[in-house]
Amino acid sequence: MKASLLRRLARERRGATIVEFALVAPVLILLISGTVELGYLALVKSSLETGVARAARAARVDLTADESERDGKLRARIADQMLPFTTAPGKEMVIETRVYRTFGASYPESWEDVNGNGIYDGPSGSNPGEPFDDRNRNGRKDNAVQEAGALGGPGDVVSYHVSYPVQLLFGGLSAAWSGSETVTLESDLVLRNEPIRGI
């Protein structure tokens, strides 16, 4: 009786489609939601890049206004661009600017970390120090030299860095495959201000 029941079940085809769908559906749903999520992140990233570029270009041209006023306009323009998107709960967009006199002053000279300690070991005693790229040929390793202020003056180089924590569309599903319901997108831009204040 047991053998005949098993043979009958093996020949039975009703319900096979629903069983196959039950096996394939979770994978299909995960693939579709992942594709939509990645498309959404690409849209947010593109909007962030566009907003930062537009706001920075406006800030570098409008040098007749006070620096704090320019900084406020910069932040407002980026915030307006990102208005359609939701930030992660309890997190905010962070906008950082750094001012340098020249492009060369905006990043330190690179060096070879011979001993692997993560810091530059300069010359001491008979030790010549770790080798470095002496871009300005002054014989010493120079670090980035930051100027005072948020957006600088005429001819200054300004580095813009914006971090935007995005609330993902499929929070639970996204947490299952990425480990988090949020992703922080970043945008970096370096521009030189106009050489004159204008009229």
Instruction: Tell me the per-residue pLDDT of 25-62, one tens digit each, with 9 for 90 and over.
Output: 888 888 888 888 889 999 999 999 999 999 999 988 88
Per the structure, the count of domains in the chain is 1
CA distance 199 to 197: 7
Residue 172 placed within a domain: yes
Q: Are 157 and 103 in contact (CB under 8 A)?
A: yes
Provide the whole-model pTM. 0.71
User: Could you read off the pLDDT of 86-145 as tens digits, one per residue?
Assistant: 888 889 999 999 998 887 777 777 878 888 888 887 777 777 788 888 777 777 777 777
pLDDT at 189: 92
52 vs 8: which has the higher pLDDT = 52
| 86 lies in some domain | yes
Domain of 75, in residue numbers: 2-107+144-192
User: How far apart, in Å, are the Cα atoms of 102 and each of 42, 135, 141, 150?
Assistant: 32, 13, 17, 15
Does residue 22 lie in a domain region?
Answer: yes
Query: What are phi and psi for residue 94, nearest 5 degrees?
Result: -115, 125
Are the CB atoms for 142 and 184 separated by under 8 Å? no
φ, ψ (nearest 5 deg) of residue 4: -70, -35
Query: Are residues 85 and 131 in contact, defined by beta-carbon separation less than 8 angstroms?
Result: no
